[in-house]
Each structure stands twice: as structure tokens, then as C-alpha cells.
Amino acid sequence: MKKTLGAAMLALTAAALPASGAFAQAAPRDTLVALRSIDADNYDPHRSTARSNGEVMYMMADTLVSLDWDMKTVRPGLAESWSVSEDGKTYTFRLRRDVTFCNGKKMTAADVAYSINRWVDPATRSPVRWRAGNVKEVRAVDDYTVEYELNEPFGELLYQLTLFFASIIDKENVEALGANFGVQGFNGTGPYCWESWTPRQQLTLRRHPTYTWGPPIYQNPSPQVERVIWRVIPESNTRLAALQSGQGDVTQYIPHIAVAQLQRLPTVQVTTQPNYLWDYFFGFKVDKPVVSDPAIRRAANMAVNREAVTKAAFFTAAQPMNGYINPAALGYSAEASGLLPGHDPEAARKLLEEAGWRAGSDGIRVKDGLRASFTLYGIQDQVNRQIAEAIQADLRRVGIEMKIQLWDATVAWGKLATQEFDSFIMSYPYVSATDGLALYFDGANRPTPNRMNWNDDATNAALRQARGGLTQEERNTAIGQVQRIVTEANTWIPVAHENLYLAASQRVQGARAHGIYGVALYKGLDIRLTR
């Protein structure tokens, strides 16, 4: 009944929508209309880390290397091959010779050196400069050879270079546009070229006619659609209706509750990416009263029914986490995941009793005059609210009180950088176990993004090894050690691995969800329109 009603309502809105002016025109011929919920503030790979920037950047620009659908294998991109020196400090990339920018200029090693150097230049103030490693120098040896020299080995480098921050840009374009680079125009080597941008409405890209250097993960290395329009529709039901009525062609922004219904509709094709690395977790500030007690954190982990919470917040669109890292990710340790306590409220109550937390008159436990009560901060959205309230109810059942304080996205990041809360809820994309855990558990990353205030010598040492180890095996052992330490300390309550879905209208062929940095369309290749 519930499902039929939902589908009927969806269909109804779709039918009602064409009459409503703004979206009245159907998607134009030979133009792919991609729908999304939010725009980026600019399209400069070094000045915005937003996923909405990445969506367009991957289409307008290329990176030296690309990432396969398995999220583990690095494939050629602008570099056709590369080698790593024995000490792990120097990477030599040999570039393709046939690459040109949208304005026809040939792309050479000098452009690569310029792009990476601009990224790591402190004056650029890229928030993700660390992702490039501890760069000593990036230099053009000749027109088609680049040497990328580091001060210390960085095993993650090739993965980091698949991210859009490492996009190759054109120096003349940057200098000509100044502060308006990525606002008024962008000259890249990607499969699609910048045509126009109306902020918060739409960004239009046109096919790069000479483009033949797409990553080998695609069947056809050239774009087959004349235009791509990235259109912003903030309201999720309107977005879905636009997709169904043919005013949009693809979107990855599907409300979780609608996924199952959408999969049943014959007019919409939904693809998914099993190796999608975007996790929701709940972190404790380990040096704040109440949550500094390991017994509270362990009991909280046992009190929460991850499976039920995941189903309530995501319906069918996520898997409960059984460790700190997705099993599909490079560096995942099954052994460490085994240390995560399972759902057992009875054992949680027993643990709290043994630790001296006795039930108070209102059902909330007390120890030495301290109430088992703490606050949670997070960004105000439907998923976070559902997760937080479900966890709140689970914790109350074992005698722990959690006060929820969700903030509007405009102030949330500032609030989440303070020390005024005891726990927080967060979601994030990552490329590997080391990528994710180094971000959150490195003592040097306090107070943000290491909002746990976790500063442990053993963790820091293992992270150094995980980043700097010369062999993959060495790095895996080290990051496995990190997973063991933080799992045993119950620094998080891991919640859910979100699934990625890409919904496409009937006329779209070849759309497949990729999911690098949360971006489903990636380079936008192999996509064809039948009408």
C-alpha cells in the first residue's frame, strides 16, 4: 500500500510538472541534462573541494592518472605510463603526445608542472594541499616527461592524483582570468569544454571535438554527446519528477526513500556502484567528560542497532558498517573489523554497571555525580536527523542520554570546528583506508577534521608508515594496525556505507555510476542519447 502510494504520487507529480513553466521545455536534442541539488561556488580545482565542483571538473579537465571501477586500480590518464624510484620519492610520468586544450593549444609537461605547483603553492591556499604529498619539486624534464619529487615517500600519491584537485589547467587561462578563473571560463583538456555558467541554475558544456584520450576504463575514449547541461534543482521530489517527465536525463541525487520505487519504474534505469566509498559515522571527542570513559563508548557501540538505524535512515540505499572502512577499499582490515562490538544492549548495560554507571531516578545513569549525558553536533539534514534520533533512542535504552543539536549547513562547519560538543555525525568520501583514516586520526589534524581530538603516538607512527611505506604490503599492515587501535578504543560508532545510484531516463544509454569523490558520472564518456 505504502509503495503503491509512493509510486502513484511520484507519477502524479511527474504528470503535473510539465505545466509549471520553468521546466516546461523537454530536454533538447543531443544534449545530456544532468540534474543535481547544489551548485559550486567556483570551478577552480584548487579553490573548491565541493563534490559539485568535481562533477564538472572531471568533465572539463583531465588528471595524470585515472581510477578504475574497482576503486583500487590506477589506470593511465594524461600520463600513458609512469615509474616510481626505488626510494619511493620520485615519480616519473610520461605524457600522451596528442592532448590539446579546448582552445587548441597543445598540452605539455610544463602545464602539468604548473598545475601541481599551483595546487601546492601556499599562496593558492588549497584546503586539500596535503593530498599532493610533501612535494619537493614537480618539474618538466622535456615536453612530455614530468618528474614529481617528494621529500618523503607517499604510497597514496597515485590515488590522490586521480582526484579532481590534480586536474591539469592552462596557465595562460588562469592568468588571463585572474580571480574569475573557473567563474567566467575554464580551458581544460577534458572531454567537454566550458560554454556558459549561470550560478545556481545551470552550467553548459560543449563536446571537445578532438578529444580521443579518455581513460581506458571506458569503451569509447571520445565523448558522444554534443552538449552537457548541469542543471540545479534543489528540491528532491521536483528533481525526480523532472527526470521522469523527460526534462532531465541523469541524476545521482535521489532521496533514499525513492530508490526502491525508482528501480521498479520501467521508464527509469538505475545503475549502482558496489565499490562506492562514502561513509556515515558518529565520532566521540575522547577527551570530553562522559565520552572520555572507554566503557561509555564501548557500551554505546553495543547499544546501537546499526542495521535498524541504517534501514530507518537510508531504506534500501545503504549497508550497515561492520568496521571503520568499507571492505571494498584498499587497505581494509577484516581482522580489525572483527574487533567492533556487535549489537547487544544487555551486555552494554552490564558493562556500564561494572564501570560504576548506576541508573538514576530518570533512567539516565550516573557515576560520581556525573550524568551519562552528552551532546551531538551535526549538519541539519534528513539523513543525519534520522540517524541521530535512532541512535539517541538506542542509547536511552541502556541509560545514556544524548542531546542532539543539528545546525544549518551555513553555520555547521564553524560549529563543528569548536570544542563545545562531545560527539558529532559526519559523512565523507575516501579513496583508500589510509586516505580516510589519516584524515580523521592523525594527531596533527586536530581540531578539525580530527574532531575526536585523538592523539595517540602509536596511531601517528602507524599512519606515517601507512603513508610512507615502500611496498603495498607494508602500507596495508600499518593501516591495519591503525584500524585495530581506533576500533578497540571505540572512537567512532560506524554507521553506514552509502550506496551510489545513478538514475537515467529512457533515452540515455551507457550511463554507469562510478563514484570517485562521490561523483557518479566521472568523465561522462560512453553515454549516448537515443533521441
Partner 1 sequence: MADIGASAAAVVAPVPASMPKRPGMLRRLVREPVAAIALAIVVLLVLVALLAPWLAPTGPFDNDLSVALSVPGTEGLMLGADGQGRNMITRLLYGLRATLMMGVASVLLGGVVGALVGFAAAFYRRIDGLLMRLMDMLLSFPAILFGLAIAAILGPGISTIILALSVATVPLMARIVRGSAMVVMRQDYIEAARATGMSDARLILRHLAPNCLSPLFVFATLRFGQVILLGSALSFLGLGAQAPMAELGAMASEGRDFLFFAPHIAVIPCLLIFTIVLAFNLLGDALRDALDPRLRV
What the block records as the C-alpha cell of 77 is: 590518464
What the block records as the C-alpha cell of 191 is: 572531454
Shortest spacing between CB 5 and partner 1, in angstroms:
7
Would you call 510 exposed, middle or buried from its count of C-beta atoms within 10 A (0-12, 13-18, 19+)?
middle
Cα–Cα distance, 521 to 325 (Å, whole number): 24
CB nearer to partner 1: pick between 383 and 433: 383
Please identify, among the stretches 59-67, 146-154, 303-311, 318-326, the one whose residues bind partner 1 according to the rule CB under 8 A. 303-311
Shortest spacing between CB 266 and partner 1, in angstroms:
19
- Counting residues that bind partner 1 (by CB under 8 A) gives 32
Cα–Cα distance, 58 to 107 (Å, whole number): 17
Q: Hunting for cell 581510477 — which residue is that?
A: 67
CB nearer to partner 1: pick between 50 and 257: 257
Residues near 223 by Cβ (< 8 Å), separated by ≥ 6? 191, 192, 207, 208, 211, 214, 524, 525
CB nearer to partner 1: pick between 79 and 416: 416
CB nearer to partner 1: pick between 401 and 526: 401
Sketch the per residue contact string, 350 through 389, with partner 1: x for CB under 8 A, - otherwise. Answer: ------------------------------x-x--xx-xx
Shortest spacing between CB 195 and partner 1, in angstroms:
35
Shortest spacing between CB 54 and partner 1, in angstroms:
26
What the block records as the C-alpha cell of 108 is: 605539455
User: Which residues within the stretch 12-31 sit at the binding site for partner 1 (CB under 8 A)?
Assistant: 13
Cα–Cα separations (whole angstroms), residue 403 to 295, 385, 394: 19, 12, 13
| Cβ atoms 27, 10 nearer than 8 A | no
CB atoms within 10 A of CB 214: 21
Shortest spacing between CB 296 and partner 1, in angstroms:
20
User: Which residues within the stretch 465-524 sit at the binding site for partner 1 (CB under 8 A)?
Assistant: none
List beta partners, residue 75: 66
Shortest spacing between CB 245 and partner 1, in angstroms:
15
Please identify, among the stretches 27-35, 56-64, 254-262, 462-470, the one whose residues bind partner 1 according to the rule CB under 8 A. 254-262
Among 227, 311, 371, 464, binds partner 1 (CB under 8 A): 311
Please identify, among the stretches 19-27, 327-335, 364-372, 392-400, the one whose residues bind partner 1 according to the rule CB under 8 A. 392-400
Sketch the per residue contact string, 147 through 166, with partner 1: x for CB under 8 A, - otherwise. Answer: --------------------
User: Which residues within the stretch 189-208 sit at the binding site for partner 1 (CB under 8 A)?
Assistant: none
Q: Where are the alpha helices (DSSP H) in 333-422?
A: 334-337, 345-354, 382-397, 409-415
CB nearer to partner 1: pick between 200 and 403: 403
List beta partners, residue 406: 378
Cα–Cα distance, 261 to 486 (Å, whole number): 38
Shortest spacing between CB 243 and partner 1, in angstroms:
14
343 binds partner 1 (CB under 8 A): no
Classify strands 227-232 and 31-36 as parallel, antiparallel or unpaired: parallel
CB nearer to partner 1: pick between 137 and 381: 381
244 binds partner 1 (CB under 8 A): no
| Cβ atoms 217, 63 nearer than 8 A | no
List beta partners, residue 35: 231, 251
What is the phi/psi pair of residue 150, to 5°?
Answer: -110, 160
Cα–Cα distance, 60 to 107 (Å, whole number): 14
Among 128, 140, 232, 257, binds partner 1 (CB under 8 A): 257
CB nearer to partner 1: pick between 406 and 502: 406
Q: Where are the alpha helices (DSSP H) in 161-254?
A: 171-177, 236-244
| Cβ atoms 403, 411 nearer than 8 A | no
Among 40, 258, 433, 520, binds partner 1 (CB under 8 A): 258
User: Which residues within the stretch 393-412 sit at the binding site for partner 1 (CB under 8 A)?
Assistant: 393, 396, 403-406, 408
For residue 400, the one-letter residue type is I
CB nearer to partner 1: pick between 143 and 420: 420
- Burial string for 471-488 (b: 16+ CB within 10 Å, else e) reads eeeebbbbbbbbbbbbbe
Shortest spacing between CB 403 and partner 1, in angstroms:
7
Please identify, among the stretches 251-259, 273-281, 285-293, 458-466, the one whose residues bind partner 1 according to the rule CB under 8 A. 251-259
CB nearer to partner 1: pick between 13 and 100: 13
Using CB under 8 A as the criterion, which residues of the chain lie in contact with partner 1 when the complex forms? Answer: 1-2, 5-6, 9-10, 13, 237, 255, 257-258, 261, 305, 308-309, 311-312, 380, 382, 385-386, 388-390, 392-393, 396, 403-406, 408
